[in-house]
Structure 1
Amino acid sequence: MTMMTTHEGTDGTDGAGRSAVSSASIKPVSDACDVPTGMTVRHAATADLDALDAIESACFPDAEAASRESLRARLASYPEGFWLLTRDGDGGIVAFVNGFATDRPDLTDDMYDDAAQHDPHGAWQMIFGVDTAPAFRHRGFASLVMRRVIADSRAAGRKGLVLTCKDRLVGFYARFGFVDEGISESTHGDVVWHQMRLTLKK
């Protein structure tokens, strides 16, 4: 299972959207996504499973990381629910964000391993993981992908995005406009999670 947690990524996030950055240093960011030269943001394919599994395992503790089988099921059900930042040329994955869409407003533990709950017309974009490959951390790549996810969710007419994160990452997600709704009912990985919501204005 994977919680909507951002793994400690290359840019100060911990994988599920939690930030290692102190809230005192937080500055708002826009959802404009300027992809660096030599890189591309794309959706996933089943052929990406090995690379995604390796990055997920490097980003999260075993109790929090999505299993290979869970990632496989997600790729089969909603490849468009994966946003991958890749290098041009070798196609290597630098960072990725994943999650499904649903009309349910809150992120719950049953969602992580039940890809069948995905509703392509769902009102809310859930974020299950924000991952950065270890060699590319602390360079803003996960933030770049998150901005693309927000922009695409807006374009799709979603009401907003929902994720869960650890206390230390609340400030990181606040930079994108997410609001802390308090302690989540989730107990994924025996961790205390905050639920955060970004409501998109029409």
Structure 2
Amino acid sequence: MSNQNFRNASPTDATRCFEIETLAYDGDEAATHEKISKRIVEYPQGFLILEVDNQIVGFINSGCAYDVEMSDEDFKELIGHDPDAPNVVIMSVVVDPAHQGLGLSTALMSEFVKRMTDAKKETIHLMCKEHHVPLYEKFGYRYTQPSASDHGGVRWHEMMMDLRRD
């Protein structure tokens, strides 16, 4: 792939990230512009941008918690987020549909995991649709349980990666 760059988001990225979010997620599954903006401002070190040829083509955003409750809708607003907490909760993993199928989600996830490991985080949690479970298992996540969340009217599944080294 041509010129790839990873960086943390800045407030000026919110509009492009919102565009990608609404292209990649159906209806109510997509975060609002307001939520994306808040996530960038409140936890930029957990909002990783992937650029290709100086254009934003994907991102991962997250928050941190001491006690992870994946079905907590308030957490999507970063209520209860503590940047010092050891557990990372991913809220979106998104690649612009025009750039999918090029290995960018793998590159994005690998960089995110490296950064969270370097930040001494202990676990990463996420929710995904059933058809994405095998993809996240390839990334090193393990299936934990069906989620109580019905965000966007969809059935979600909880996954977790342990970053602690024995």
Q: TM-score, normalised by structure 1?
A: 0.77
Partner of 2:105: 142
What are the residue-to-residue correspondences of 1:50-65 with 2, within 5 Å? 50-65=15-30
Q: Could you report, residue by residue, the CA deviation over 1:38-70 in whole angstroms, capped at 9, with x for unpaired residues?
A: 121000000101110110110001110001111
Partner of 1:79: 44
Name the SS of the counterpart of 1:118 in structure 2: coil
Shift of 1:168: 0.9
Shift of 1:134: 2.1
CA RMSD of aligned residues (A): 1.3
Q: Could you report, residue by residue, the CA deviation over 1:139-165 in whole angstroms, capped at 9, with x for unpaired residues?
A: 110111111111111111111100001
Shift of 1:135: 1.7
CA distance in 1, matches of 2:27, 2:48: 22
For the pair 1:177 / 2:140, whether they are aligned, the reply is yes
For the pair 1:47 / 2:12, whether they are aligned, the reply is yes
- Structure 1: 5+ residue runs without aligned partners? 1-35
Q: Number of aligned residue pairs: give it.
A: 164
Q: Does the aligned pair in 2 maintain the 1:154–1:200 contact within 8 Å?
A: yes
Q: Could you report, residue by residue, the CA deviation over 1:58-90 in whole angstroms, capped at 9, with x for unpaired residues?
A: 0001110001111111111111111111134xx
Partner of 2:74: 110
The sequence identity of aligned pairs, in percent, is 29
Shift of 1:37: 5.1
Partner of 2:93: 130
Q: Does the aligned pair in 2 maintain the 1:77–1:116 contact within 8 Å?
A: no
- Structure that is richer in helix per residue: 2
For the pair 1:151 / 2:114, whether they are aligned, the reply is yes
- Structure 2: 5+ residue runs without aligned partners? none
Q: TM-score, normalised by structure 2?
A: 0.93
Shift of 1:191: 1.2
CA distance in 1, matches of 2:39, 2:128: 20
Give runs of ≥4 in structure 1 deviating > 3 Å. none
CA distance in 1, matches of 2:106, 2:80: 26
